Structure 1
Amino acid sequence: MIEHRETGSLGVVLNRPSEVAVHDVLPSWGPHASKPQAVFVGGPVEQRTALCLAALRTGEQVADIDGVVGVSGPVALVDLDGDPESLIPKVRGLRVFAGYAG
């Protein structure tokens, strides 16, 4: 669970990789996705939307990094419209999620 409000919730399924490779749908992010480098099923309800979660490296702070929003501890939501090259040195892993979790 990423966020829960009266108006709705946002969550992901952590253990359901799809057959779709991240580089097939988000070429600039593909090489940086954690293995398996697949889009994971179970994300936003909107089918044309994906979200990305990253685990920040020890010592990195969400407030110091453009294009991320803190979720909990070292876990942050990543703006997939941003430049992955500036973010990658600050994270130890990332995963992309899409498709309704149910």
Structure 2
Amino acid sequence: MITNTNSTRPVIRDSYVGSLLVATPIVKDPNFDRTVVMAVGQEDDGVLGLVLNRATELPVMEVLGDWGELAGDPAVMFEGGPVQPDAAIALGWRKESAPSSTVFRPVTGRLGTLDLSQGPEYFHDQLDGMRVFAGYAGWETGQLQAEINAGAWMVFDALPTDPFFGAPDDLWSTIWKRQGGMLAAMANYPPEAEYN
């Protein structure tokens, strides 16, 4: 299993859950151009992820009412991906003191998805942060690995703050910068290089 995140070789992992999938400039699909996706689920039939850096201007409160009080800054809906854009998925950062619960599904460490049918009042004393995503990104069995092998995605370890990064538009370049070496130069790759 290759786990060296400073390598340009394709990364092979038993599970991508909790990892960041960072789009490289060869990705031309506008749904994923310059995106940072966190893999939050993996089953035999594929991988499910959430785009972390596509904030909308729509306040969570306008869509999900009182859930808006728990949403971190910016307290807006995020475009989680092109699949089922009418579905909402919430990522929460559970407090260390919070008890384990069936309505919190761990992704990695204290980060997990929340059962939105429970109601926000249940989570008021249990979360240090939360974001809500409309839709998700999905890959069928073998599809993500094929895209990684083709150079469309780099796989990096996530920091606990990544899903709640305060300046979502800067997350893509920030993650490249922190890789150091040659990979850090990707942070300065222009959005429309073919016109430069």
| TM tier, smaller | 0.7 to 0.9
| Unmatched 5+ stretches in structure 1 | none
Residue 72 of structure 2 aligns to a residue in which SS? coil
Q: Tell me the equivalent position of 1:21.
A: 59
Q: Tell me the equivalent position of 2:123.
A: 87
Aligned length: 100
Q: 1:11 and 1:44 mapped to 2: Cα distance?
A: 11
User: What CA deviation, in whole Å up to 9, does each residue of 1:15-64 have, x standing for no partner?
Assistant: 21111110111002011100100011124711220100000112334xx3
Structure exhibiting the larger radius of gyration computed from Cα positions: 2
- TM-score, normalised relative to structure 2: 0.47
User: What CA deviation, in whole Å up to 9, does each residue of 1:64-85 have, x standing for no partner?
Assistant: 3342111110011101111211
Q: 1:33 and 1:58 mapped to 2: Cα distance?
A: 18
Q: Tell me the equivalent position of 1:54.
A: 92
| Unmatched 5+ stretches in structure 2 | 1-38, 139-196
Amino acid corresponding to residue 117 of structure 2 in structure 1 = D
Asked whether the equivalents of residues 93 and 111 of structure 2 are also in contact (C-alpha less than 8 Å), the reply is yes
Question: In the TM superposition, what are the counterparts of 1:33-44 in structure 2 within 5 Å?
Answer: 33-43=71-81
Q: 2:86 and 2:58 mapped to 1: Cα distance?
A: 14
- Matched-pair identity in %: 37
Q: 1:60 and 1:16 mapped to 2: Cα distance?
A: 29
Asked whether the equivalents of residues 10 and 44 of structure 1 are also in contact (C-alpha less than 8 Å), the reply is no
Asked whether the equivalents of residues 49 and 136 of structure 2 are also in contact (C-alpha less than 8 Å), the reply is no
Asked whether the equivalents of residues 89 and 135 of structure 2 are also in contact (C-alpha less than 8 Å), the reply is no
Point out which structure has higher relative CO (alpha carbons under 8 A, 6+ apart). 1
Which structure shows the bigger proportion of residues in strand conformation? 1
Amino acid corresponding to residue 93 of structure 1 in structure 2 = G
Residue 24 of structure 1 aligns to a residue in which SS? helix
Q: 1:98 and 1:31 mapped to 2: Cα distance?
A: 17
Q: Tell me the equivalent position of 2:101.
A: 65
